[in-house]
Amino acid sequence: MQLDPAPFFEDVAAGPAGGAAWWVTASDQVRIRVGLWPVAGARGTVLLFPGRTEYIEKYGDTARELAARGLSTLAIDWRGQGLVDRLLKDTRIGHVARFTDYQRDIAAVLRAARELDLPRPYYLLAHSMGGCIGLRAVMEGLPVQACAFTGPMWGIQMSPVMRPIGWAMATAGTALGFGDRLTPNSTGESYVLTQDFDGNTLTNDPEMYRMMQDQLAAHPDLALGGPSLHWLREALLETRHLASRASPDLSCVTFLGTQEAIVDSAAIRTRMQIWPRGTLEVVDSAQHEVLMDTPAIRAQVFDRIAALFLNTRESAQAD
């Protein structure tokens, strides 16, 4: 497998030294980007699955926290976002043909990990939409020793009144040929560039919110707006399908902020109640981005993630 160097915006990533990125090609010839923050003598590699609208550089701080705990990080730009080629003529709209297409991206990431000879074991850290993609992946045998989810999109937060309306709009809009249109109440602009810190639904930390804004101001090509109606339909279908499946026999911790306002908290609680080796950590006062909330919250979350990952590593070595 050939790894071609890709742009990597170290000026805004603020990750550990040695970060780099490459282009890799999925099985359907879609080009994606992977980014690596290596650690000398690493005790394993974290496969980091970002959320919708996100990109590799946003997780520089996360990679720094993981590096301090002895773990390398390999992150991905999913098809249709970050620096990867966009899938619609209007490049501001988030879109995917089928949610299962993201599994092709994962296969390409694993090939890159092998080509780069990254230290094992592998672990999964998945946020929001990445949590939905990652859940299917671990159900289908992703070769990781343990997994952690933050605000995973195992359901989309909607009121009981809006849920049937959302399904109807997404289904009918796609059927009528409007699947590439933005969902109602969304825009083609990035959320963090149009929403002031006060009232945002991502983080309680003003410095982290400013970091998100500064990254997109410096590199506008990373920005992405709202999702398409087709993306919404695919997301609703995927979360419904995954809810019907059993949890994998894999050590897992999932973090849910008490101020979560984006994904469906009830779906997260339901899933973790039926995860045999899973633990739900409810994080008091945290919003959706627990990895990018206040310093106290971040320290709590990263310590818990590292404890799970490294304890499972030691247990496996002892067996």
The count of C-alpha atoms lying within 13 angstroms of the C-alpha of 259, restricted to the half-sphere facing its C-beta, is: 15
Sign of the four-CA dihedral 212, 216, 221, 224: positive
Q: What is the pLDDT of residue 163?
A: 83
| Residues 185 and 169: beta-carbon distance below 8 Å | no
Reported as a single tens digit per residue, the pLDDT across 188-213 is: 999 999 999 999 999 999 999 999 99
Q: Tell which residue, 258, 253, 255, 257, has the closest CA to residue 275.
A: 253
Ramachandran category for residue 177: left, alpha or beta (phi over 0 → left; psi -120 to 50 → alpha): left
Q: What is the pLDDT of residue 274?
A: 96
- Any idea what DSSP says for residue 40? T
Q: Tell which residue, 250, 296, 304, has the closest CA to residue 276.
A: 250
- The average pLDDT across 27-35 equals 96
Reported as a single tens digit per residue, the pLDDT across 217-255 is: 999 999 999 999 999 999 999 999 999 999 999 999 999
Task: For residue 73, give the H/E element and its range.
Answer: strand 72-77
Written as one string, the DSSP assignment of 247-282 is PPSSEEEEEEETT--SB-HHHHHHHHHT-TTEEEEE
Q: Is the pLDDT of residue 126 over 60?
A: yes
Q: What is the pLDDT of residue 215?
A: 98
Reported as a single tens digit per residue, the pLDDT across 264-274 is: 999 999 999 99
- The CATH number of the domain covering residues in 4-318: 3.40.50.1820
